[in-house]
Chain A
Amino acid sequence: MITFAAVSLIYPNSTKTVLENLSLTIDEGEFVLVIGPTGSGKSSLLRLINGLVPHHTGGILAGDISVDGISTKSVKPGGLAHLIGIVGQNPINGFVTDTVEEELAFGMESLNIAPDVMRKRVEEILDLMSLAPLRNRSLATLSGGEQQRVAIGSALVMHPKVLVLDEPTSALDPIAAEEVLSILHRLVHDLGITVVVAEHRLERVIQFADRIVHIDGLGNTRVGTPAQIMSDSDIAPPIVHLARALGLEDVGLTVRDMRRMSEEIRGASYSQKIESLQISGENVIELSGVSLSFVNKTVLKDINIEIRAGEVVALMGRNGAGKSSLLKTIVGLHECSTGSVDLLGNNPLTISGTKRRETIGFIPQEPSDLLFGQSVLMECEQADRDNEIDKGATFELLNELVPGISPNTHPRDLSEGQRLALALSVVLSAKPKVLILDEPTRGLDYQAKSHLVSTLLRYARVLGRTVILATHDVELVAELATRVIFLADGDCVADGNTLDVLLSSPAFAPQVAKVMSPQPWLTVKDVISALEEN
């Protein structure tokens, strides 16, 4: 279906080869997963398939890519619209119309398909993607998962033979992600559509993949079955790390496989010494009876939370459950309708300038919102000046977090992980008592994530500061958090230590816990230390 023949790609004004001599044939009805570190060229590979690279982006392309016998050299992306459906990283950025129905019809209108055919196909897709109740809704009012479903639907409605998706679950909560992936799985099996997906969170998607393309960022690529690639890949889901740590012969790719292989280990009885970290710092944040409502919608309902120094608190919950609103209330962007927020004796609405920097640091969903300098160095110097610390201290901090960033790089040219590290070092240089992060792992690869985990752990444990993060990433929560607060529809439905909360709900349990249930282990490290003790 898709043939890459000796493809090499290099972007203008860049010395780095994105792809070098890649030859790959993808058959009809295959589910291919593209993995690699951030900035390694996964998106470029996907966009090569329908010719957005190089038609839209520029770049020098050698070799040839053809889809169903049509070479992307000979036609523009529009000419392949009937053959390839492509769904970008942020579906909302690609929406062209106002409502769900119109969005689904847009591509067909462009291809001049007869109205009665269109109507029939739109109805089909509305059913297939369970979008029927949303048909007249405005796109801007949909949740992340719904938007993703509309984007996939509007690609499918053209009856494409190939569906290309760039990180389809990065913005979704675990349940919405599962829903989207199972739809993809069904499409492959029921309709024989060829699916190519790039994704960082392998734990969500690897069980569906027939083959994996691994890009290392230096132009080299490896292609193989999941078992082949996972036997020695450095990019691997927790479940594979678990298999390696346990010294199993095969790597299991699904929870089911791993449970079968680890029956003995799981079945043995262990003298449990569950160390629940007792944190006895002073209260830094007190929320009492906080509710928040906008024009005609209540976002938070009567939240009572106390957070101590040294705690790492994870806020979890569905898309739109009120996580961001709660964070914004704590940092003082929203004034709560009733109740009060106490931040180290201050009202967060009133502090500003240096006092704010030293009290509370905030990393927004888009870390680049914080940045306005022309280079990494300028950004760091600004932070040095703001916080009246030694010149170069911020850059040193950045170097500790992620070594090897050139000081003259423009912040825009950094990879997602590097940009987050820059924003983090700018904020941390003021040593705030409370650090707040909103969805920090969106678009981060495993390596960048483990850097983030160790930085935040050090900050909380060594300096005794408070870290609060909103996230969908259960694996991150398992590694990092001491306490989990679970929000649903603006209500605080669970609040307790990480182990209890994560184990009590299967959807939000990390992979290792699912494999090792009923043993109370969340991470590979937990398993290893429990085994060593016995």
Chain B
Amino acid sequence: MKDARHPLTLWIWSITLAIGIARGNNPWIAVVVVGCAYLVVRNFRTSAPWSRSFESGLKLGIWILIIRTTFGVLVGTPIPGTTLFRLPILPLPEWMAGIRIGGAVTQERLFSTAHEGVILAAIIICFAAASSLTSPHRLLRVLPFAIYQFGLALVIATSLVPQFVTSISRIKDAQYLRGQKLSFKKILIPLLEDSLARSLDLAAAMDSRGYGSTRVRSRYRAITWNAADTVICCVSALSLLSPTLILISVATPFILIKRRVVVPT
């Protein structure tokens, strides 16, 4: 379970990608970037619990795309153009003039909202890619002492998320075996109690092991920044310059990692 890259590298990579996507504002490039990011994640990720967060980010992105497009088509002022179909117009009171719900849906309107949705989803998926490739615990170690409280919260949150998933399935099973129809409440109450108890345990454990009691932490394994990290970051910076160069930067970790596999160290 050794991460080959410095924990900040892939975050820098994904942040620059996200900025590049936002600046370029080209949905096709965004889709290609997401595809490449997926390949990188697939090749590079470990079996750690957080490595599944790419899928969660992907799902979240798709939901955002769907919801945004639906609302974009339903609500707001129409853009003139080719009418695809007409929806019934919902009558609104006088004072809400200027807002329209329903009505003609034009091709232009559909494309422009879908376009914005794709960009937004792609940005979220870029961050999901970085979080599924970097151990939050390693990331925490390179963060400065000033955000120690934040670090504490981060560790608790990241250790709880996988436990959340197992707790939910455990509680669902137990309720099913009690012959109960599943309801939100019947799962939520035991889940919250369980998670609260666990996070208190973890906070107590971290505290009793001296976390945050000295300003400087030493490192058992030095987390080194090597040439490959610099290359990835520099190439990533290209995507800030021009939207088309983003296609090069998204592929850099992929190429570098491929090389690592060929030449075993």
Residues of A whose CB lies within 8 Å of any CB of B are 47, 50, 52, 55-56, 76-82, 84, 86, 88, 90, 93-99, 101-102, 105-115, 118-119, 122, 136, 138, 140, 154-155, 158, 328, 331-333, 352-357, 360-362, 364, 366, 368-372, 386, 412, 426-427, 430
Asked whether A98 lies within 8 Å of B1 as measured between CB atoms, the reply is yes
Asked whether B202 lies within 8 Å of A81 as measured between CB atoms, the reply is no
Interface segment among B10-18, B97-105, B183-191: the answer is B183-191
Contacts of A50 in B (CB 8 A): 208
Using a Cβ cutoff of 8 Å, how many contacts connect chains A and B? 166
Q: If A96-B159, A357-B178 touch, does A105 touch B208 (CB 8 Å cutoff)?
A: no
Residues of B whose CB lies within 8 Å of any CB of A are 1, 47-49, 135, 137, 141, 155, 159, 162, 170-171, 173-181, 185-187, 189-190, 193-194, 198, 200-214, 216-222
Asked whether B185 lies within 8 Å of A96 as measured between CB atoms, the reply is no
Asked whether A372 lies within 8 Å of B189 as measured between CB atoms, the reply is yes
Determine the distance from Cα of A52 to Cα of B185 in the docked complex, in whole angstroms: 32
Contacts of B213 in A (CB 8 A): 76, 78-79, 81, 110-111
Closest chain B residue to A117, Cβ basis: B218
Q: Which of B48, B185, B200, B217 has the most CB of A within 10 A?
A: B217
Determine the distance from Cα of A102 to Cα of B203 in the docked complex, in whole angstroms: 18
Contacts of B1 in A (CB 8 A): 98-99, 136, 138
Asked whether B210 lies within 8 Å of A138 as measured between CB atoms, the reply is no
Residues of B contacting A: mostly: helix
Asked whether A110 lies within 8 Å of B220 as measured between CB atoms, the reply is no
Closest chain B residue to A101, Cβ basis: B220
Q: Which of B137, B189, B209 has the most CB of A within 10 A?
A: B209
Report the minimal beta-carbon distance from B246 to chain A, rounded to whole angstroms: 32
Which one of A88, A95, A115, A357 contacts B220 once the chains associate, using CB atoms below 8 Å?
A115
Closest chain A residue to B178, Cβ basis: A370
Q: If A81-B209, A86-B208, A105-B220 touch, does A112 touch B214 (CB 8 Å cutoff)?
A: yes
Closest chain A residue to B172, Cβ basis: A369
Contacts of A102 in B (CB 8 A): 137, 220-221
Report the minimal beta-carbon distance from A512 to chain B, rounded to whole angstroms: 35
Contacts of A372 in B (CB 8 A): 175, 185-187, 189-190
**Can you list 6 pairs linking A and B with CB atoms under 8 Å apart?**
A76-B213, A109-B217, A118-B220, A364-B177, A372-B190, A412-B193
Which one of A80, A110, A353 contacts B211 once the chains associate, using CB atoms below 8 Å?
A110
Closest chain B residue to A141, Cβ basis: B47
Determine the distance from Cα of A47 to Cα of B203 in the docked complex, in whole angstroms: 14
Determine the distance from Cα of A149 to Cα of B252 in the docked complex, in whole angstroms: 42
Q: If A88-B204, A98-B135 touch, does A110 touch B212 (CB 8 Å cutoff)?
A: yes
Asked whether B205 lies within 8 Å of A88 as measured between CB atoms, the reply is yes
Contacts of A94 in B (CB 8 A): 201-202, 204-206
Contacts of A140 in B (CB 8 A): 49, 162
Asked whether B220 lies within 8 Å of A138 as measured between CB atoms, the reply is no
Q: If A138-B1, A370-B178, A412-B193 touch, does A93 touch B201 (CB 8 Å cutoff)?
A: yes
Contacts of A99 in B (CB 8 A): 1
Asked whether B210 lies within 8 Å of A107 as measured between CB atoms, the reply is yes
Contacts of B137 in A (CB 8 A): 96-98, 102
Determine the distance from Cα of A372 to Cα of B205 in the docked complex, in whole angstroms: 28
Asked whether B209 lies within 8 Å of A56 as measured between CB atoms, the reply is no
Contacts of A84 in B (CB 8 A): 208
Contacts of B214 in A (CB 8 A): 110-112
Contacts of B212 in A (CB 8 A): 78, 110
Determine the distance from Cα of A155 to Cα of B135 in the docked complex, in whole angstroms: 23
Contacts of B198 in A (CB 8 A): 93
Q: Which of A55, A107, A355 has the most CB of B within 10 A?
A: A107
Asked whether B220 lies within 8 Å of A354 as measured between CB atoms, the reply is no
Asked whether A114 lies within 8 Å of B218 as measured between CB atoms, the reply is yes
Contacts of B155 in A (CB 8 A): 96
Q: 11 extra interchain contacts, Cβ-Cβ under 8 A, other than A93-B202, A115-B218, A115-B222?
A: A78-B211, A98-B48, A98-B137, A105-B220, A109-B141, A110-B209, A110-B213, A111-B213, A112-B218, A155-B209, A158-B209
Contacts of B218 in A (CB 8 A): 108-109, 112-115, 118
Determine the distance from Cα of A77 to Cα of B135 in the docked complex, in whole angstroms: 27
Q: Which 3 A-B pairs have the closest CB atoms?
A: A81-B210, A94-B205, A78-B213
